[in-house]
């Protein structure tokens, strides 16, 4: 049976009470590892729109006996799952959204940059398909890259958060790997710049 200190419980309760104006986040704000609240983007505390409830696909720790070492990210686009390889024959499995038909890809990349609440500049290829898109969007809760982004080499692809959690587990992107904002934040803290990312179909 798990035991929690009274001081941690009281601190958590007090912080959640202070965040009552963003009640839509309360279900998602408890970190299952520490049982402490996860703070939303400061924009929400200023009265911004809340993220939809993130109930897509819960992450889990699973056995792993593949060929890749700890710290590697393995993405199965057919399974629509991302695995972060841990030591000791385990991996954390997350649900992801992947490229829609015609935008599938496979191969090995490297995380070359990480960003919190990244800005978004649609590439020229996307603007040709969607001239209605903004030319640039500042980071924030309404940005389609979500809470975190990990950039894959010199490609146009990223592993990033999403303000559309209902698309997780679907094939709807232009090739990027989407995660819920909670999951991408968790992965962001684990994955290092220079980590290998292997995408398989």
Q: Is the dihedral of CA 123, 49, 140, 179 positive or negative?
A: negative
8 Å CB contact between 168 and 149: no
The DSSP letter of residue 184 is H
Nearest to 160 by CA among 147, 170, 143, 173: 147
Considering only CA atoms, which of 150, 130, 144 is closest in space to residue 190? Answer: 150
Calpha distance 63→92 (Å, rounded): 9
**Residue in this structure with the two tokens 């890749």, named with its chain if needed:** 68
Would residue 41 show up in a list of annotated catalytic residues for this protein? Answer: no
Is 176 designated active site? yes
Q: Which of 41, 53, 136, 176 is catalytic?
A: 176
Determine which helix (DSSP H) or strand (DSSP E) holds 45, and give its type and residue range.
helix 42-45
Which DSSP category does 120 fall into?
Answer: B
CB 201 within 8 A of CB 116: no
Catalytic residue numbers read 160, 176
């Amino acid at each position: 049976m798990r035991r929690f200190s009274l001081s941690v419980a009281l601190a958590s309760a007090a912080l959640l009470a202070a965040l009552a104006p963003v009640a839509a986040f309360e279900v998602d704000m408890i970190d299952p590892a520490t049982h402490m609240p996860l703070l939303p983007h400061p924009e929400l505390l200023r009265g911004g729109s809340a993220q939809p409830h993130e109930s897509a696909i819960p992450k889990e720790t699973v056995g792993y006996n593949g060929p890749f070492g700890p710290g590697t990210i393995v993405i199965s686009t057919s399974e629509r799952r991302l695995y972060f390889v841990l030591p000791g024959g385990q991996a954390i499995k997350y649900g992801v959204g992947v490229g829609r038909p015609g935008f599938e890809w496979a191969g090995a990349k490297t995380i070359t940059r990480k960003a919190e609440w990244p800005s978004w500049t649609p590439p020229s290829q996307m603007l040709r398909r969607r001239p209605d898109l903004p030319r640039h969007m500042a980071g924030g809760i309404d940005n389609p890259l979500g809470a975190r982004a990990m950039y894959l080499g010199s490609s146009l692809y990223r592993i990033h958060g999403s303000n559309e959690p209902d698309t997780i587990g679907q094939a709807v992107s232009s090739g990027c790997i989407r995660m819920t904002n909670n999951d991408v934040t968790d992965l962001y803290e684990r994955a290092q710049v220079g980590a290998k990312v292997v995408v398989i179909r």
